[in-house]
Amino acid sequence: MRSLVKTRQTMTEAHVDVKTTDGYLLCPFCVGFTTKLNNQIGKPSYAQHQWVHQIQEKMMDTMTQEVQM
């Protein structure tokens, strides 16, 4: 995990408590990072707070849908 974290990028984390169809309670955890674009000149590739929040919501929705299937 430590090797994934780099400077000049944004790390996004999300976790959710989901009850499966057979009654188990799972707590999946997801981590995401921003990356440089191909044509990007500068070094930093930070994400704005609004985008981070939207990404976290999308992560939680996806994890919930996949576990409940």
Give the per-residue pLDDT at 69.
Answer: 78
Query: Which among 59, 43, 39, 61 is positioned nearest to 51, based on CA atoms?
Result: 59
Q: Supply 63's token pair.
A: 């994890």
Handedness of CA 59, 61, 64, 66 (dihedral sign): negative
In a structure prediction context, what are the per-residue pLDDT tens digits for the chain, which is 69 residues long?
778 888 999 999 999 999 988 889 999 999 999 999 999 999 999 999 999 999 999 999 999 999 887
CB 19 within 8 A of CB 64: no
